[in-house]
Structure 1
């Protein structure tokens, strides 16, 4: 069985429409410091070309400036990364700012429903916020959406991978309640010879 077909729960979740997934979002609109934001859910195949470009550009800018991939063992492989994030099973929670009758993508999270090692998982592949929109609580808002989606679809936990060279992200996730997953390098007190950790947060 594949990661996406390992249980009835995961099969059902992967059949959910964007509209059904959006019903699980605790917030569809919010205002921060006078700026209005709108949240939307999309499947990979539904993304408009300019939205795909914006998703990719935010990722590249954030990771390049952090030098995350250059410092990692995974290295920066654009073609492979695009294939990963725009996979047909990827789901996107998009945050658009509404300014002067125009919308702009300023943050997003990418996730998939998976079944691995007898666990149903919501795997967060990316959580990115445009640099100029950071420190407004949008990262926390996105994580709250994932927690709600996970609970609504009866997924046992949220998993994600974070580079050790990105201490800001490590602090954010661990403050939110993530802990070292049993599948992570370094779990159980073993020496972590890799440059990343796999974190998990139970949602059931």
Structure 2
């Protein structure tokens, strides 16, 4: 076999390997999307964890509910929007993005949105919420935590960490690859909180350069029971 034939053979082999890798990646993405669809088809992802529907510690006597946005009572949704604005507007205004209320309302009311809400049993009022979604993110099936917001009166009582544990249970029981969230760098309380919850910088988090800097980072916690299966193309 001469050199020209050998090059053709190598090129043919590489092409075959590339096509096989592309086929495997398409199959992986289809399987991941199926998991996301199945997670979103649930009526209540919290129902599988009855021991986590109550939080009664540190002076709090509360219960948790989980609903899709379209099933959420209008007054609860409005409360969530108001709390998000109260807590997050100052941080957005310090960022490069600025606060755009119409965009935030649209984000929080999209059909894909789920809400985990904590209710005070005694006062019959909401205390905290998380807006999250089962979604595809850079080719991975994930639970993306868009918001974790608590009323001032129930902070520093372990509730936020408990809510993150519930999100992780719902994510990993539905075979999501990881839980993902975004946090402002100029929010040290938020950064410290998620570090204590053992969240690390995600591979998709943008990196500062001479041309561009970012005032946020993306954190994640991996599903240790599910190894990464991305295919190199």
For normalisation by structure 1, the TM-score amounts to 0.88
Contact 2:127 2:154 in 1 (8 A): yes
* Aligned-residue RMSD, C-alpha: 2.1
Identify, as 1 or 2, the structure richer in strand: 1
Contact 2:46 2:53 in 1 (8 A): no
Q: Does 1:107 align with 2:128?
A: yes
Q: Does 1:146 align with 2:167?
A: yes
Q: Does 1:70 align with 2:93?
A: yes
Q: How does 1:1-204 map to 2 (within 5 A)?
A: 7-18=33-44, 20-24=45-49, 26-64=51-89, 67-99=90-122, 102-186=123-207, 193-204=213-224
Structure 1 stretches of 4+ moved >3 Å: none
What 5-or-longer segments of structure 2 have no aligned partner?
1-28, 225-233
Post-superposition offset of 1:6: 5.9
Number of residue-to-residue matches in the alignment: 195
Q: Tell me the distance in 1 between the aligned counterparts of 2:169 and 2:112.
A: 19
**SS where residue 63 of structure 2 aligns?**
strand
Q: Cα deviations across residues 21-69 of structure 1 (Å, max 9, x unaligned)?
A: 43246511121234310100111011112101110111111124xx200
Q: Tell me the distance in 1 between the aligned counterparts of 2:69 and 2:82.
A: 16
Q: Tell me the distance in 1 between the aligned counterparts of 2:145 and 2:71.
A: 19
**SS where residue 87 of structure 2 aligns?**
helix
Q: Tell me the distance in 1 between the aligned counterparts of 2:150 and 2:137.
A: 28
Q: Cα deviations across residues 149-172 of structure 1 (Å, max 9, x unaligned)?
A: 011100010110100111100111
**SS where residue 142 of structure 1 aligns?**
helix
For normalisation by structure 2, the TM-score amounts to 0.78
Contact 1:114 1:121 in 2 (8 A): yes
Post-superposition offset of 1:118: 2.4
Contact 1:28 1:39 in 2 (8 A): yes
Post-superposition offset of 1:8: 1.0
Cα pair distance change 1:12/1:87, threshold 3 Å? same
Cα pair distance change 1:33/1:193, threshold 3 Å? same
What 5-or-longer segments of structure 1 have no aligned partner?
none
